[in-house]
Amino acid sequence: MGIPTLDAVHVGRQPIFDAKGVVAAYELLFRGRMDAVESGRQDTYATSTVMVNAFTEFGIAEVAGNRPCFINLTREFVTGRLPLPFGPEQVVLEILETVEIDEEVIAGITALAEAGYRIALDDFVWGSGHEQLLGIASYVKLDLLDGDLSNLDRLVAEIRRHPGLQIVAERLETAEQVAIADRYGMELRQGYALSRPQVLSTPSLSPSRMRRLELVAALMHPDVRLDKVTAIIASDPALAMRVLRVSNSVAAGVVSRVSSVRQAIMLIGLTHIRRWATLMVVDDVGGEAPEEQLLTALTQARLCETVAPRFGADPAAAFVAGLINGMAELMAMTPAAMVEQLPLSEDVSDALTTGAGRLGEVLRAVRAYGAGEWGAGDLAGPFLDAMRWSTRTLSAAQRFAPVTAAPRP
């Protein structure tokens, strides 16, 4: 099977500086096509795409290091109709100026703030209703390019009545606008005069649409078994890689590292897995890579899992090592480059980077067999079994009926 053609995914990233010119945060921006998206849901699609790409395609550490990220929110996310799949540690939730302020929105934002999320008010205009949120917010963004500056003295004075509320001067395009930010002591600054947005790109293999729907359907049941969720995720290499990347952001500061898909799921938690799966369904607009292109990677992972006991290796860890090795080939990356993005246990990491340990022996044997080298062990039988399993697993998704019920938040 040849190497598949990969789509690239993109995230825009614009630095937000402090008054000394040091990067304090990033705003994450949608970069992509809206051709297939209805006009009424473009903002929601853009937000969900930014979240999925930043956290599951790149990994948030790759995008922002340890700096906070400003992410736009639409009404659906503010009111809880769509779930936020991440915790409050590294994000600032930016309430778009297009969100109409009513009791439902105020209740939603209050709940988010009480849960530890920092709130920013985008393109703030006094009298729009967003002034009701000043006591909840951590940041107010003022447009110094197209905003009304005639009452700036009064506006800044009103904001300063709320201790700890920082002003972000945005859309700074001239030295004069930067001088205005200095004059009023605005703590943070953003705009072309300081730095234009950068576009980050990475190759991507999209998880199966059917597999995502199957996962959402399974997670709708409150008594869903962990084994069921693990089986669904492990059966789709692209989906498994996304889960591993999400676990990397969750694992920040955690001593233990993962060596299996099951451990990654347990680290993230079923509640957050449900939210990510729901968000990926929302993000599912347009085509996806043909599933047969993933057969090689999945077969390799299954073969590693099957033969692991011959080498005294853990089968679950062998599956992950084989999966990452196969996906690296598909995405024209080195296993070592992929290891840097994932919170892998030392034995899995060493096997992929240096070939060390019993897992390294498993990988060498499977690679040798795939290259047609004799003397690597009789893997013909296990290989055929792995191929049959992979074929059945991938084809089973095509028989799954789409979900019509709304997923639980």
Q: 323 φ, ψ to 5°?
A: -60, -50
CA 285 remoteness from chain centre: 16
For the stretch 254-279, pLDDT in tens is 555 788 888 888 888 888 887 777 67
Answering whether pTM is above 0.85, one says no
Q: Are residues 48 and 174 in the same domain?
A: yes
Q: Are residues 160 and 23 in the same domain?
A: yes
Q: Are residues 160 and 267 in the same domain?
A: no
SS3 annotation, 224-270 = CCHHHHHHHHHCCHHHHHHHHHHHHHHCCCCCCCECCHHHHHHHHCH
Q: Are residues 162 and 278 in the same domain?
A: no
**Residue 336 domain-assigned?**
yes
Per-residue pLDDT band at 360 (split at 50, 70, 90): very high
Helix (H/G/I), strand (E/B), else coil: 170:
strand
Integer Cα distance of 245 and 67 in angstroms: 18
Per the structure, the complete domain to which residue 361 belongs is given by 206-398
Of the given ranges (40-49, 114-123, 390-399), which has the lowest mean pLDDT? 390-399
Does position 132 have pLDDT exceeding 60, yes or no?
yes
69 or 409, greater pLDDT = 69
From the list 6, 14, 34, the residue with the least C-alpha distance to 283 is 34
- Domain boundary residue among 201, 231, 246? 201
- Domain boundary residue among 182, 201, 220? 201
**Residue 403 domain-assigned?**
no
Integer Cα distance of 335 and 304 in angstroms: 15
Q: Are residues 176 and 227 in the same domain?
A: no
Question: What CATH number is given to the structural domain containing 170?
Answer: 3.20.20.450
Q: Are residues 163 and 68 in the same domain?
A: yes
- For 317, residues 6+ apart whose C-beta sits below 8 A from its C-beta are 259, 260, 308, 345, 347, 348, 359
Find the angle CA(391)-CA(397)-CA(403) to the nearest 5 degrees: 175
Q: Are residues 145 and 273 in the same domain?
A: no
**Residue 137 domain-assigned?**
yes
**Residue 408 domain-assigned?**
no
Q: Are residues 281 and 165 in the same domain?
A: no
Question: What CATH number is given to the structural domain containing 341?
Answer: 1.10.3210.10
For the stretch 228-252, pLDDT in tens is 888 888 878 878 888 888 887 665 5
pLDDT over 90, % of the chain: 35
* Mean pLDDT value of segment 192-206: 83
**Number of neighbours of residue 12 by Cβ within 10 angstroms:** 17
- Domain boundary residue among 170, 186, 201? 201
Q: Are residues 190 and 217 in the same domain?
A: no
Q: Which residues pair with 26 in a beta bridge?
A: 15, 69
Give the number of domains in the chain: 2
Q: Are residues 177 and 247 in the same domain?
A: no
Q: Are residues 364 and 226 in the same domain?
A: yes
